[in-house]
Amino acid sequence: MAVKTKSSAAAGRKVGRAMHEMKHGELRSGGSGKKVTSRKQAIAIGLSEARKAGARVPAKKRSS
């Protein structure tokens, strides 16, 4: 059985903060600056911020 990598607590806080901002209409995308409305996009932004901060986060999923 393969061992799954787990995100750190710091990464969870970043994702939680991004979700909170999205729910209150404050989260903006980096490129266009448009308001984020997708739950998946909010999670992706939170994980990206956690990676930049050096938190332990699983690698990005690759599309096949």
**CA-based max dimension of the chain:** 42
Per residue in 4-62, pLDDT tens?
A: 668 889 999 999 999 999 999 999 998 899 999 999 999 999 999 999 999 988 888 78
Count Cβ atoms within 10 A of the Cβ of residue 50 and give its class: 0-12 exposed, 13-18 middle, 19 or more buried. buried
- Scanning the chain, the segments in alpha helix (DSSP H) are 9-23, 39-53
Residue spans of the domains in the chain: they are 9-53
Q: Decide if pLDDT at 63 tops 80.
A: no
Count Cβ atoms within 10 A of the Cβ of residue 12 and give its class: 0-12 exposed, 13-18 middle, 19 or more buried. middle
Q: Decide if pLDDT at 3 tops 70.
A: no
